[in-house]
């Protein structure tokens, strides 16, 4: 295969590379906050008009693969706004969150970060995630998928406006989804 058969990609500028670095560092910082259970600090990264959504996935034939994820308003594991996310964060500190007492141990991995679109003051990001959670002596969950985020702000000072999570799995064996993805 020659270089002529590949689609030409524009050269990255220094400002493109700086933006990529700033976005990646923001996402890594967010993951570190979640893994350290610093949920109040993580919550501060969420925009007031947050949309946090994870649709249910179903197995479809090749002809219907475009319908494998439930549409907005259809079945979803999460369909939250900032208020409901705040309630989830607050519950973790009450001692009444039975699914998180004792707390889970998580490790959030973020990879293949791509800036898909730039608008005035906002970026659309696509990335892959792998989240490992262990709880008690032998409960282990692994969630893998793709995320589409909209970030608002600049120079690494971002808030999360939308987070759409698309799991690779159709069936979840987790006892709960009490962790933030």
pLDDT, tens digit, 9 for 90 and up, residues 124-159:
999 999 999 999 888 899 999 999 999 999 988 999
pLDDT of 10 higher than 90: no
What is the predicted pLDDT for the residue at 142? 96
Q: What is the CATH number of the domain that holds 141?
A: 3.10.450.50
What is the predicted pLDDT for the residue at 6? 60
* Domain count for the chain: 1
Q: Does the residue 179 lie in any domain?
A: no
As a whole number of Å, the end-to-end CA separation of the chain is 40
What is the predicted pLDDT for the residue at 4? 54
Q: Which domain holds residue 134?
A: 13-167
pLDDT of 1 higher than 50: no
Give the whole-angstrom CA distance, residue 56 versus residue 79.
11
Q: Does the residue 180 lie in any domain?
A: no
Q: Does the residue 20 lie in any domain?
A: yes
Q: Does the residue 175 lie in any domain?
A: no
């Amino acid at each position: 295969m020659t270089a002529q058969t590949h689609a030409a990609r524009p050269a990255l500028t220094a400002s493109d590379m700086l933006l990529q670095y700033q976005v990646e560092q923001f996402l890594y910082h967010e993951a570190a906050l979640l893994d350290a259970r610093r949920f109040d600090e993580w919550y501060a990264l969420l925009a007031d008009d947050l949309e946090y959504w994870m649709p249910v996935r179903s197995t479809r034939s090749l002809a219907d693969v475009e319908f494998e994820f439930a549409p907005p308003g259809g079945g979803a594991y999460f369909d939250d706004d900032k208020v409901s996310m705040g309630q989830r964060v607050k519950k973790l500190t009450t001692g009444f969150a039975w699914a998180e007492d004792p707390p889970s141990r998580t490790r959030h991995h973020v990879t293949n970060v791509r800036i898909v679109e730039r608008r005035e003051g906002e970026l659309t990001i696509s990335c892959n995630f792998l989240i490992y959670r262990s709880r008690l002596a032998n409960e282990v969950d692994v969630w893998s998928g793709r995320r589409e985020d909209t970030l608002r702000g600049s120079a690494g000072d971002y808030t999360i406006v939308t987070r759409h999570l698309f799991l690779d799995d159709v069936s979840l064996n987790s006892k709960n989804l009490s962790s933030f993805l």
